[in-house]
Structure 1
Amino acid sequence: MKKHWMLSLFGASALALSLTACGDIDKLRGPETPDVTPLPGTNSDEPPTAERRFELRVRGTGTEGFTSLRLPISQVSVTTLEGKALPVWQRANVLELATAGHSPLLAHFEIPEGIERVRITLHFTAMGELARNGNHEMLDARIAPVSFESHVSDLSRHHRAVFALDMAHSVVPFGPGTVMLPSGVLQY
């Protein structure tokens, strides 16, 4: 699992280093919104029953000095190790991660009986925004997807996984801008 995680981070690092800075921050900044921006058009209004339903949450750690850190996540996919897609109900596409101790809900997903391990993938394809030390900046989060594998027995402990994203190491200056190179751990 560590090898898989490191390969994802290496790919994301290589992609981020090839990016160039974007235009004016004020043109890209959207309206103020709460810590979770609901995603319209989810594939179902109601998630499955609690017995086979799991949550995916994201928590920002190392956020000292940040007053806002809005991270866009365009898609969440959960598959079997063989690549079969499992049902996912994505609940947000932008998360506010600067609130200490808060883990906003990103998605619910269902794992049918008989599956022992799954692959969870987060897709980042948009610009985010951050504020720290009184400065507002755009955060280039257009990176390779981050994937990790999980045993269903681990997920079943609390019926959730929390991706603890270390923002102190993930938000990196690059040229005239700032890029996201995800560094974190999956907690149950």
Structure 2
Amino acid sequence: MARAAVRSGDLEYAEFAANRSGPLFRSACLLTGGDTHLAEDLVQETLSRMYLVWRRPGRLFGGRAIENPAGYAQGVLYRQFIDHHRRRSSSERPVAELPDLAGPEDTSTLRMTLLEALARLAPRDRAVLVLRYWEDVSVEETAEILRCRPGAVRSQSSRALTRLRALLGDGLNDLAAH
């Protein structure tokens, strides 16, 4: 009987992971500035941590039940991203080959410019902007995910947007007009 319960829990987790891996990967790609390899690693780590929590009786974490597993997973992803940057000793990223050619012609110049500017922000600034303006998460939920106060989210959002605007400069209007 216990074996059947474990199997149904595993099946339930597998369904959860299949449904959430796409949205988690998209968020991770934004956070990493388009580094799909790092994004895959972050999603893998997030889902493995979720599996450990999933196996606990009542899905308890820190003494309380997880009411929104999708939201919890999103928070794990953002914290994994920030922790990854804390642990890194260098900002260099290895690549298999050096690019000799420009990117594909169908790549939107505006999108690439925004991704490059986003990648130049500090990890926590990126996390706040992606949560607030890409994921459309409320200030309170963002504060909970990043484990800070709502006022800190507001001020960090404002400062991060100012930094992003400074990076993009006046050229963004030219790109958006096309």
Which structure has more relative contact order (CA 8 Å, sep 6+)? It is 1
More helix by share: 2
TM-score, normalized by the shorter chain, greater than 0.5: no
Give the TM-score of the pair, scaled to structure 1.
Answer: 0.20
Q: Which entry has the higher C-alpha Rg, 1 or 2? A: 2
Tell me the TM-score normalized by structure 2.
Answer: 0.21
